[in-house]
Amino acid sequence: MSQTPATTHFGEREVPLSQKQDLVDDIFHAVADRYDLMNDLMSFGVHRIWKDIMVTRLNPPKAGSRPYRVLDMAGGTGDIAERIVNMSHGFVEVTVGDVNDDMLRVGAARARTWRFPTQAKFVAANAEKLPFRDNSFDAYTIAFGIRNVPRIDVALKEAHRVLKRGGRFLCLEFSSVDVPGFAALYQRFSDRVIPPMGRIVTGDSEPYRYLIESIRRFPDATGFTGMIAAAGFKRVTHDALSGNIAALHGGWKL
């Protein structure tokens, strides 16, 4: 039987696995108020298109005989939740889970201005140990958050546990650029532009050095697809987006 490693990488450092979550929390406490602005600058706004694609793939219902509940993990600022609620014309109930209270603070404040402000609730939740009962949700979404979880395999099993039979899993995450020439250009942009940009916008470049390293250490799309299947999901798929800068992964609890 394989054993969980005692250490993991945090950026370029190797740290005890037990410390990674606190270190990641510190990163997001520092950038919470300007997190979405930095996403716009780093991706030239393309992250919004990727998120629209994910929510369109979810295709949340607009009516039904029973409530339709979505858990959006690592969704503290609420941008995925708002898209889901709006696409469902206010029918879907979204629980936004995040381990970081500053991210939740930002999201809850923004939600008060939404078109359907009562359709989302913001809950402190660790992806590795969700505070929800088995078979609680119709769908589980996570965008650009799974790579920050210390034990990704545990988080995937938790996602499977809280989904109802027939429930859908969707994960949007950075991947490995596979377009010749563009890969080298993307790497130079990541190394030379993003950290200084982060320092200008948030006052600190280190969070963005970590984020770049976390992207590079994340499994490629094929490897992550295998992890999703190992957690029990069926009909697992992945679709490359924008030259495989990002990938949309999906699966079902059957």
Residue keyed to tokens 């078979």: 135
- Rounded CA-CA distance 54/147 in Å is 17
Task: Indicate whether 30 pLDDT > 90.
Answer: no
Task: Confirm if 116 and 92 have CB atoms less than 8 A apart.
Answer: no
Distances (CA, A) of 35 to 155, 179, 204, 246: 23, 28, 12, 18
For residue 48, what are the contacts with CB-CB under 8 A and spacing of at least 6? 40
> What's the pLDDT tens digit per position in 82-137?
999 999 999 999 999 999 888 899 899 999 999 999 999 999 999 999 999 999 99
Determine the 3-state secondary structure of 152 from DSSP: helix
Q: Mean of the per-residue pLDDT values for the chain? A: 86
Identify the H or E element spanning 142: strand 137-143
Amino acid at 204: D
Instruction: Write down the architecture of domain 15-180+218-252 according to CATH.
Output: 3-Layer(aba) Sandwich (3.40)
Taking the whole predicted model, whether its pTM rises above 0.75 is answered as yes
For residue 123, what are the contacts with CB-CB under 8 A and spacing of at least 6? 95, 96, 97, 104, 131
User: Any idea which of 6-10, 27-31, 56-60, 216-220 has the lowest mean pLDDT?
Assistant: 6-10
- Rounded CA-CA distance 75/107 in Å is 8
**Residue spans per domain, the chain:** 15-180+218-252
As to burial, measured by CB atoms within 10 angstroms (0-12 exposed, 13-18 middle, 19+ buried), residue 69 is middle
Joined together, the tokens standing for residue 28 give: 């997001």
